[in-house]
Homo-oligomer: A and B are copies of this chain.
Amino acid sequence: MRPVRVAIVGATGLVGQTLLRILDERRFPVAELRLYASADSRGSDVVWRGQRCAIQTLEEGHGSAGAPLAGIDVAFFAAGAEVSRRHARTVAGAGAIVIDKSTAMRLEPDVPLIVPEINGELIGEKRLIANPNCATIPLALLLAPVAQAFGVKWASVSTYQSVSGAGRRALEELAEQSRGFGGAPAALPRRIAGNVFPENGAFDEAGHSDEEQKIAAELRKLLDLPELAVSATSVRVPVAIGHGEAVAFGTTVDASLDEIRSVLRGFSGIVFAEGTRYAAPADVAGTDDVVVGRLRRDNAHPRAYLCWVASDNLRKGAATNAVQIAEYALRVRATAAS
């Protein structure tokens, strides 16, 4: 692929740092790399592929044309919803492929929400593409082949979400509390070391947390099942990296355990762990594997199954998926141009 000019907005955050690592690991064709962060990080720099790269703010980083990120071919936004809302459409309008890791535009009808193994074909000529939530990606990867083969009537998930999903300050808070230091919780709503809590974002009037709503709404969009019945309980656990999810789902038509296993084994987006095997967060941290294990009948409902899914929330749950989207979009353009 022809090398492209790449920007990362939010380059000093956990996802931004993971993006840098994954662009390198996957030998992403980078002609030029521009890194942006908030004013707090101004003056710092990053060494990437042996080259020193200065961190700029978006304001000072305007191109010669005066527009943010002018001349950039691929821009990754990983700086939160507000920054994305302010800049992502402008940058895409100026011609760049924008992959937005924030929540800002995931549910907008004109913005495809993409997990390449599930619905990469929706990327087409789109220049603004949303990357789903870190808990939704593994859940959707598990359910997509089941939905395709047998239909999915409902899904219910209890999450075991690591602290890195709440960002660098939350991770520091866990580390400080684990060493016996740290005052009142600040980045997280409660003490997390030696504790778990079912609170991840604000609660709506019906009592669902922000994360629980995201999981339901994004899953419906990713699977293209607008009526899918979904419920979630999102829980933070004292793990640094790697999300676990206890998933229950019901199929529309009868399917034997062997038939479910067979479609899961054959789907490229997941690693299927046979029998009672499974992966824990510590097993998948640092990898791109979404491991589906402990598949068994859900005795609470007819035509229903239980399983356990684990994945690295910073990689396939965020940065790896974003880079895969960029690769897919560049391939589409290369094919169209040839």
Contacts and interface: CB of A to CB of B under 8 A. Distances in A.
Interface of A: 154-156, 158, 160, 178, 190-191, 194-199, 203, 206-208, 216, 229-231, 233, 235, 237-240, 242, 244, 246, 248, 275-276, 278, 280-282, 294-301, 304, 306, 308
A2 to B, nearest CB: 42
B235 A160 contact: yes
This chain: how many copies in the complex? 2
B198 A246 contact: yes
28 contacts: A156-B298, A156-B301, A158-B158, A158-B246, A160-B196, A160-B237, A190-B280, A194-B238, A194-B239, A194-B240, A195-B239, A196-B239, A196-B280, A197-B278, A207-B275, A207-B294, A207-B295, A216-B299, A229-B299, A230-B299, A230-B300, A231-B298, A231-B300, A231-B304, A233-B294, A233-B308, A238-B239, A301-B301
B240 A246 contact: no
A281 B240 CA distance: 19
B300 A195 contact: no
Pick the most buried of A156, A198, A231, A237: most chain B CB atoms within 10 A of its CB. Answer: A198
B238 A238 contact: yes
Contacts of A207: 275-276, 294-297
